[in-house]
Amino acid sequence: MKASPVEILLQTHIQIQRKSEISVYIQVAQQLLEAIQRGSIANGEKMPGTRKMSTILNIHRNTVIAVYEEMAAQGFLEIIPNKGSFVQFSEAKKNAIKAQNPDETSKKRAGFLFETALHLKQDFSNSDTEILLNEGKPDFELIPIYEFTKQFKAAMQRKNLAEKWYNKEQIPNAHFEKQLCNYLKISRGISANPKMVLSTRTPELSLYITAQILIKKGQIVLVGTLSNPNVNMVFQQVGATIKTIPQDENGLDISYIAKKYKKGMIRAVYISANNEYPTTVCWSDSRRLALYELAKKYEFMLIESDYAFDYQYNGKPTLPMMHHDTHNLIVYLGSIGSGLFPTFESGFMVATEDVIAEAQNYLQLVDKQGDAIQKQVLSEALFEGELQRRNNINNSIYQKRLDFLCMQLTHHFQNCLTFKKPKSGLALWIAFEPAISLLSFAKAAEKEGVYLPKELLFQNQSTCAIRLGFGQLTESKTKELVQKLKIAYNKIIRKSGTQKQE
């Protein structure tokens, strides 16, 4: 049977980038809408059935259903039961999807003076290499897109959604806060009531609000020597004086704090005791206790991040320090939903009721509306146990990917580097012995098709290591990655002449 014009267009013009961060169904929907805008698909044209479409594009049928629902939601497709899906739009709507070219005469300079924050400037360089590495992000390919599309649609249809959206006052003991408290108790052993938690759109916003209300200009905040630059920028923005603490295989060196500082000098210490950034170290119990006792003695607060807590391996996780906080010295910051979909990730903070009340006031200034849909979806995922189930499924996959990566590194690099399997998180801390030039290594790797961003490279007089995110690395991709990294390594070793090629 001769293919229809639509089928021919699908076979020849629809391109799917499997490695893109943009979901497949969004890629396909956007290209179909562009085809409508160009006139390649006529008004009234019947689209192939979902099964046939999935065969043509080599994608799952559920992905096709999501494509059609997206087009229908935007008003370009009419789905008629037992008849099919038909392109339908008005000319006004067709014109509305035309892409607009950037204005070449855009304004470059403001007509007034202002100071630029140099500490906020970041390097947004990128690469078109085949393998793009990151600091430890989840694999969005594991997300059941169609399932969460249905949940999002269901959340939009809730009768009480409009009431939540337009209610100017915080809803006391809201369903989401209750579910979050239950989840924190079960997963982290943290006992809290809804007045002790504040949810934000992102974990970064939680940290920003914490710094705004609890840290004043000139106050000392202690961080690790190899601390997260983005965290440091938040503290710098409020005028804090940042001091670094040495790190070892058990976490921050607490004895250094006791020797260097006196009571009243320190305002706060920022920690990630369960997965220290960037080394992925899980603090020992003795190290945690020593810091907590020092916080009581020197009267400073602890800002504890639960970075990567949801990604746990090898049995029962170590509970956060907040679980043992009997003197109300800790503000606990975290996130949930990162393994569901980026849009669903939500930040939160846990503290005493007076701190949360003040934080709520600040949140009203920068995000008064909030995201009722996000909370609705997360509330249902928590209540139904979907969040826990999804974490368990994904963690079993990530555990296998971590094990395979470690095996490949051991096989190909042997005595060239060292690493220790993390207890949690989606990154591996890899130290080179003897030290090499990491910038030269990154340039050589890029020539082989592997992009190592600068923020993954940690090099000083005592450190030569990279933080390698493995969440998105399948076994085949891991094999390819390690082989390319070894080629790059051998090239710079031969060039420097510091070590014989193995």
Query: What pLDDT score was predicted for residue 342?
Result: 65
In this model, does residue 502 exceed pLDDT 50? no
In this model, does residue 119 exceed pLDDT 60? yes
pLDDT in tens, 170-186: 444 478 899 999 999 99
Give the C-alpha separation, 355 to 212, whole Å. 12
Of 127 and 33, the structure prediction assigns the larger pLDDT to 33
In this model, does residue 494 exceed pLDDT 50? yes
Torsion of CA 180, 182, 187, 192, to 10 degrees: 80
pLDDT band at 82 (very low <50, low <70, confident <90, very high): confident
Kindly report the average pLDDT of the chain as a whole number. Answer: 86
Query: What pLDDT score was predicted for residue 501?
Result: 43
Q: Is 355 helix (H, G, I), strand (E, B) or coil?
A: helix
Q: Averaging pLDDT over each range in 37-41, 95-99, 193-197, which range is the top one?
A: 193-197
Percentage above 90 pLDDT, the chain: 51
pLDDT band at 270 (very low <50, low <70, confident <90, very high): very high
What is the reported pTM?
Answer: 0.76
Give the C-alpha separation, 377 to 436, whole Å. 47
Residue whose tokens read 């805008």: 37
Average pLDDT over every residue of 205-226:
96
Query: What pLDDT score was predicted for residue 253?
Result: 95
What domains are there in the chain, each with its CATH number? 5-96 (1.10.10.10), 158-384 (3.40.640.10), 394-496 (3.90.1150.10)
Query: What pLDDT score was predicted for residue 72?
Result: 86
Of 308 and 226, the structure prediction assigns the larger pLDDT to 226
pLDDT in tens, 317-331: 889 999 999 999 999
Give the C-alpha separation, 193 to 178, whole Å. 7
Residue 262, judged by CB atoms within 10 A of its CB (0-12, 13-18, 19+), counts as exposed
334 within 8 A of 203, measured Cβ to Cβ: yes
Query: What pLDDT score was predicted for residue 500?
Result: 44
pLDDT in tens, 156-172: 666 665 555 555 454 44
pLDDT in tens, 430-463: 999 999 999 999 999 999 999 999 999 999 988 9
Query: What pLDDT score was predicted for residue 173?
Result: 42
Query: What pLDDT score was predicted for residue 172?
Result: 43
Average pLDDT over every residue of 253-269:
96
Of 314 and 335, the structure prediction assigns the larger pLDDT to 335
Residue partners of 267: CB distance under 8 A and separation at least 6:
214, 215, 216, 219, 220, 221, 240, 300, 301
Query: What pLDDT score was predicted for residue 161?
Result: 57
